Amino acid sequence: MRAIDAIKLDDPSFLLPSPHAEMAALRREAPVAYDARTDAWVVSSYESVSFALRHPEIFVSGRGVSVQERKLGTDGPVHGGDFMLATDAPRHTELRAAAQPGYVQPRIRAWEDRLRARIVAAIDALPAGEVLDAHTRIAKTLAIASVCDYLGIPEHDVPWVDELTSVWSPEHTQWSGVSVTDYPEGTLERYFAVLLEERAAAPADDVLTIIAGGRGASLSLRAKLMLCIDLVVAGNEPLAAGISGGLHALAEHPDAFARLQREPELIPTAVNELLRRVTPIPYMCRTTASDVELEGQLIPAGSFVYLLYSSANHDEDVWGKPYELDVARSDAGKLLSFGRGAHTCIGAPLVRLVYRILLEQLTSRFAALEMGGDVRIVTGVHMPHLGFLPLVLVPASPAHRDTP
Ligand code: HEM
């Protein structure tokens, strides 16, 4: 059997859990391979995935970046060209410029103290020494709370926004309107339309204000709504998946957790390493705008292409011992978990900050993380991830407690 025949990216269960052996075989045999069954190309080596990301003029996003969007089967840009993830320059540049100022390092740093207080409060509320579902109680809680807080969503709306985010459908991008009442009540669109109107009238220090006014001012209401939704939908689930996957890895590698206790300066590196191993978004898709030769293969114009970030993140040609957790891995920053180039994750600085503070707190307050049962993996809205992570936060002896 050829390696490509074992790759079934159109079947969600294929990624449960990560099919490392199949992807390694594909990298060895055919790092750029045509899959006749799905009429798509699969790119699996670090070098080829990086090449594709560096050439968004060839590997375009506007025809869809997911299997679901491929099925929309439109001739023009999917979602009417308003959903940033699935747009190309010059439209993409314009949309990104409207949200990016909110996600630059200095702004994120200024938010750090408020975020730390939130994370400390969330951890204070956890029962030490008992089995708890760390996916729900830590990862999901912190992911939605931090994304919403940073955007400027009031705290009392967070559970509701979380619920709507998990049932939001790309079909909603067909909705169009110029005023608040053009959008159905009880939807994320209506909710954000109201908030944006409020921020335009009374600016605050948040990302919603940046989208409502500033560089976002010239965008249509529909485009602004898509930006807000892009941020919560693109941010919430991957962040939760990244955290629970990382906590699981640390619980299974007590030596790594202990090393971070002894050498907390390694925590930023550990964050990259955990996100490399987990790769919460295992692949994204593109369509070729012209013929392109990659690893000796000619991919014709108009081809649907899978870029396997997860495989690239475990490519033996780039990473020494890629399946090992090495919290001191010196080149962990090369990870492709946030993509690269024009569409690089806009929320990456926020993710790194949330994750760093969380690890600082856990390593300084608890003696260890221990598994308290079997994990459960769920298909998820966008990707498979841990849906249940039974964990024990082992209390530290009083002498060890040294909260930063
Ligand atoms: C661990 C958590 C996260 C991971 C692994 C992740 C991963 C990614 C990846 C791989 C892309 C590139 C998609 C592509 O190549 O087509 C991306 C784009 C994006 N991410 Fe994230 N993301 C995370 C969290 C967040 C958060 C918290 C936010 C917002 C608050 C966010 C907002 C976005 C947006 C808006 C884009 C689209 C950027 C563009 O198209 O120019 N992400 N993310």
Q: Give pLDDT tens digits for 376-391.
A: 998 876 678 899 999 9
Q: Name the 3-class secondary structure at 77.
A: coil
Helices and strands, counts by H and E, the chain: 16, 12
pLDDT of residue 182: 84
Closest CA relative to residue 355, chosen from 262, 255, 253, 277? 277
- Within its chain, how far is the Cα of 178 from the centroid? 30
* pLDDT of the residue at 225: 92
In angstroms, how far apart are the furthest CA atoms of the chain? 65
Q: Which helix (H) or strand (E) holds 367?
A: strand 366-371
Cβ atoms of 92 and 84 within 8 Å: the answer is yes
* Residue 60 Cβ contacting ligand 1 at under 6 Å: no
The pLDDT of residue 92 is 95
**pLDDT tens, residue by residue, 211-229:** 998 666 789 998 999 999 9
> 56 CB less than 6 Å from ligand 1?
no
Give the Å distance between the CA of 79 and the centre of ligand 1.
18
What tokens appear for 303 in the block? 């081809």
Is the link from the previous residue into 101 a cis peptide, with omega within 30 of 0?
no
Q: Give the tokens for residue 211.
A: 């989208």
Ligand 1 atom at minimal distance to the Cα of residue 86: 40
User: Is the distance from the beta carbon of residue 347 to the nearest atom of ligand 1 less than 6 Å?
Assistant: yes
pLDDT of amino acid 361: 98
pLDDT of residue 299: 98
State the pLDDT at residue 404.
Answer: 47
CA atoms of 62 and 226, how far apart (whole Å): 15
Look at ligand 1, atom 15, and give the residue with the nearest C-alpha: 339
Which of 61, 287, 338 has most ligand 1 atoms within 8 Å of CB, for mutation? 338
CATH of 3-396, one of 1.20.120.1810, 1.10.630.10, 1.10.10.10, 1.10.540.10: 1.10.630.10
pLDDT score recorded for residue 52: 98
Task: Check pocket membership of 64 for ligand 1, CB cut-off 6 A.
Answer: no
Q: Within a 10 A sphere around the Cβ of 121, how many other Cβ atoms?
A: 10
Q: What angle is formed at CA 48 by the lines to CA 288 and CA 21, rounded to 5 degrees? A: 115
- How far, in Å, from the CA of 258 to the mean position of ligand 1? 30
| 25 Cβ below 6 A of ligand 1 | no
What distance in angstroms lies between residue 124's CA and the mean position of ligand 1's atoms? 29
Closest-CA residue to 135 (of 324, 372, 398): 372
Q: Which residues of the chain register pLDDT less than 70?
A: 73-76, 170, 214-216, 381-382, 398-404
pLDDT for the residue 339: 98
Q: How far is CA 38 from the centre of its chain?
A: 25
Which of 345, 355, 357 has most ligand 1 atoms within 8 Å of CB, for mutation? Answer: 345
Q: What is the pLDDT of residue 276?
A: 98
